[in-house]
Amino acid sequence: MRILRILDQEAWLYNYTFFKEFKNSTYYDLMLETYKNLNIDILFKSHIHGQGHIERVIFFAMILSWKYQLTRKDTDILRYAASLHDTRRIDDSYDTEHGHRAAMESSKYAYGLESKDLEILKAVMTAHSREDKEMEKSINEFDIENIDRAIKLSKLFKDADGLDRVRLGDLDSKFLRNDFSLELVDFAKKLFAAYQ
């Protein structure tokens, strides 16, 4: 797994203070566990939305979880969303419904979530591939008790996924939703370059 070699061998990571702090946190350990348990067999096979993309989105989801000190339950939702969000793609084209397909068909791989958290995971996965203006409508497709929680997690996840738009050369930081995401843009470029 390329990300593990990068995390283990690339000295440039330590130029970022936040990385040093993140690496000493329990969130980092949980990220390594996520990589260890990643079901590679169900990932979409693609250079654009395949394993490399998933590895990087997991990283961004975990570092955002760390920065915003999410609970373990909310962190689990984000790490499962990162692992599963593109599993039901048909191709690499613009497809606003691949997140919903993944929510309905791949959320069964999110082991150990309570039913209310599983519903939020499905909402987050569905919302990630739709426009922001449809976020609340997407979330309301599911049995969600805490809409604000689902919106917060959806915005964090859309940023985690969006930061890897550097691979497409079209990351526009004005579309990022969280302050710390803006601080990760340069890091995202360097992380993607390390895959080349």
What pLDDT score was predicted for residue 149?
A: 98
What pLDDT score was predicted for residue 48?
A: 96
What pLDDT score was predicted for residue 108?
A: 96
CA 28 to CA 152: how far, in whole Å? 21
Buried b (16+ CB within 10 A) or exposed e, 39-75: eeeebbeeeebbbbbbbbbbbbbbbbbbbeebeeebb
Contact between 34 and 79 (Cβ < 8 Å): yes
What pLDDT score was predicted for residue 86?
A: 98
Those residues of the chain that have pLDDT short of 70 are none
What pLDDT score was predicted for residue 128?
A: 98
pLDDT in tens, 10-33: 999 999 999 999 999 999 999 999
Contact between 182 and 176 (Cβ < 8 Å): yes
